[in-house]
Every structure is written in structure tokens, then in C-alpha cells.
Amino acid sequence: MQALSRLGLTALFTTLVLALVGALFNNEYAFYTSWGDLLGDSPEDTPRHYGAPTPAPALDQQAPSASATPTAPTTPHALPALPQPGQRLQKCEIPGPKNADGRPTASRKVYVQLPVGYDQHSATRHPVIVAMHGLPGSPESYSKLDHFYTRLDKAVSDRRIAAPIVVVPQLNRTLDDDTECIDDPHGLQTETWLASTLPTWVKHTFAVAPGRGSWATWGYSLGGWCASMLTMKHPATFGAAVAYQGYFRPQFDGHPPFAPNSPQARSYDLIALEKANPVPVSLWLFASDADKVSYPSVKEFLTVVKRPTDVTARIAQGGGHRLSVWTRKIPRSFDWLVEVQPGFAPRP
């Protein structure tokens, strides 16, 4: 009897410790914001428009870019053989971001999901989605992201969107290494790698359309920040961004690599950039008003949006910073891409 009593007390103590740890993590990251949220109630949202859309040709004429001029794609017959012939998911490695002093670093994984029936030597050119994972995360994340590829295939088969090539780069050196996709003044030049090195490699390796009207970024949490940042700072390369529960200033997990008021810090304040020099890009934003990771800066950003920036925002009432709050809304972002990016429109 005493043994059973001790076992029961041990189980109770373990449960209480786990509950306390879970509560502390939830308090820090706002995964769940109410009992209804915890029990699975889905927050609703209504789209609102900010700024004003600009016709794609005008965008192409207006958009400056901090990145190097994109290299023209090779002709279909000159494209190299696929790394994994016959496979839709190509698992590749390319040289990683350079250090600030120009030294090379270890290679990075890049996963490329090809459309059904993709032909490397066809004259068909596909639009590109550069999809970015959260933290912790890796290129494998999109294979587990609530049927992301299946939902995209369904949209293509229903002729709601042209068949895109999805490129998922490894953002960090390790699962929990937080680069925030920036060019570190003393370290990795991740922004340059994502905005210049990666697109150039994609254009020389796969049958993709070269224009900004056929290139978009897509991400969640950390990846949502990276998507918005890359598109707003490199509008000649990316015409649109989809950001689920992203944010508009970097949120380093640890000490930032630059002082808060330094030129480097100001260059990554997308709210200040939008105030001073709005760029001709389109953004799709989803956030929850109870999510303290993403909502504060999203809310602030929406107050400063103006032409020619075009923003569609969906703000959910309640819901924490977790995948289940927004993944069922993934197909909506595909429909939106077709509206704002001519290269994603289904072929006649």
C-alpha cells in the first residue's frame, strides 16, 4: 500500500513539474492564449487591404535592389542534369554564406520540390517560391508542414495557380542557430546568400522564369520575417512575400550582432524603411492579435504602409504562436499569389 502511495505521489509530482515547465514556456512564447485556444478552437480572421496595388510592369520599372543584378538563366538545353533524376524532391548542397571577411563557410542544404511532370529540358519556365522555415527548423520542415506540398499540388491540378518550383534553403548552421537571415557585420552574410547566391544557383540549375513577377518568398515565424525582409530589401528579385506569424524587426535569440541604434540595426527595421521609402512589392500577412511574438510589429507595420506597397493582412482574433493557428489557411496564400504576381497565373 505504501509503495502504491509513493508511486502515486511521484506521478503527481512529475505531472506538476511538467505542467509548470509547460506553463513557463507558454508564458514566454504564447503558444496558447486561452483555454479555448488550448482545446482547439480555430481563430477566425477577415482580410484587410493596406496601401495600394501597382501594376506589375510599373513594378518592374520602379524596383531598385540592394542585391547584385540577377544573372540571366541558361537556355533549356544547357541546364545540368538533375542531382536526383526522376525525383520530385531534389536534395542539394551549395556553398554557404561567406563570412564578413570573405572567407567561405560550410555548404548548406537546399531542398527543391519540382512540379508534377517537370521536364528539365522543356521550354516551359516555372515560377519560384523561396520557402523559409522557422526556428528551430530545417529544409525538411516543409515536408512536415501540414500537407504543404499536397495542398500546392491540389491548387495546381485545380488550375488555380501555375506549377511553381519550391526552393527551401537551410537558413541556419544548426537547428537552433539564429541568424535572422541578416548580413552579420562580423559574421555570416546570410542576406546576400539568400538574395543573390541562391537565386543565381536556382536560375542556372532549374527551368525557372527569371522575372520578379515569377518569384516570391514564403515563410512562417522566423521564415516569415526573412520572407518580408528579403522582398522589401530586394524588390528587383522578389515581387511578393507570404509571411505567417512573421515580424518586421529581427528578434535574435540572444545578443544581437549590432547596437540597437547602429546603421546595421536601422537597415533591418522594416517599419522605418516603409515610412521613409515604401517599395513596390506585395505582402500577404497573417498574425494573431494574441501572439506577442509577431503581432506587435505587424500591427505597427500596418499603420505605416502606403503606396506603392500593397499589403493584404489577415489578423486572427486569439490564437498563439504555433502552426495549427494558420496552416489550414495555406491555400489562400496560393490564390493571392496569382492575384499579385503575373508569373503565377495558370497557363491558358
pLDDT tens, residue by residue, 273-304: 999 999 999 999 999 999 999 999 999 999 99
Q: Are the C-beta atoms of residues 208 and 202 closer than 8 Å to each other?
A: yes
**Residue-level pLDDT at 127:** 98
Beta bridge partners of 132: 219
Average pLDDT over all residues of the chain? 84
Closest to 66 measured CA to CA, from 183, 163, 195: 195
Cα–Cα distance measured from residue 178 to residue 186, given in angstroms and rounded to the nearest whole number: 15
C-beta atoms surrounding 22 within 10 Å: 12
**CA distance linking residue 34 with residue 224, whole number of Å:** 24
Q: For residues 246 and 293, what is the distance between their CA atoms, to the nearest angstrom?
A: 8
Q: Are 167 and 193 in contact (CB under 8 A)?
A: no
Q: Distance between CA atoms of 250 and 267, rounded to whole angstroms?
A: 11
Of the chain, the percentage scoring pLDDT greater than 70 comes to 80
Say how far apart CA 280 and CA 235 lie, in whole Å: 7
Q: Element (H or E) spanning 147, and its range? A: none
Alpha-carbon distance of 183 to 115, in angstroms, equals 32
The band of 14, judged by pLDDT with boundaries at 50, 70 and 90, is: very low
Residue 311: C-alpha distances to residues 52, 57, 63, 226 (Å): 8, 18, 16, 16
- pLDDT greater at residue 146 or residue 18: 146
- Per the CB < 8 A criterion, the answer to whether 150 and 337 are in contact is no
Span between the terminal Cα atoms of the chain, in Å: 77
- Residue 313: strand pairing partners: 48, 285
How far is it, in rounded angstroms, from Cα 198 to Cα 212? 14
CA distance 72 to 285: 31
Nearest to 203 by CA among 17, 22, 71, 56: 71
Lowest mean pLDDT across 175-184, 223-232, 236-245: 175-184
pLDDT given for residue 44 in this prediction: 58
With the C-alpha atoms ordered 263, 268, 274, 278, is the resulting torsion angle positive or negative?
positive
> Does pLDDT of 70 surpass 50?
no
Which three cell numbers mark 316?
A: 486572427
Q: Which of 273, 312, 307 minimizes the C-alpha distance to 52?
A: 307
* pLDDT reported for residue 1: 53
Nearest to 120 by CA among 206, 199, 204, 202: 206
- The model's pLDDT over 39-61, given as tens digits with 9 standing for 90+, comes to 344 455 678 999 977 544 445 54
pLDDT at 319: 87
**Three cell numbers written together for 263:** 546603421
Q: Are strands 165-169 and 310-316 parallel, antiparallel or unpaired?
A: unpaired
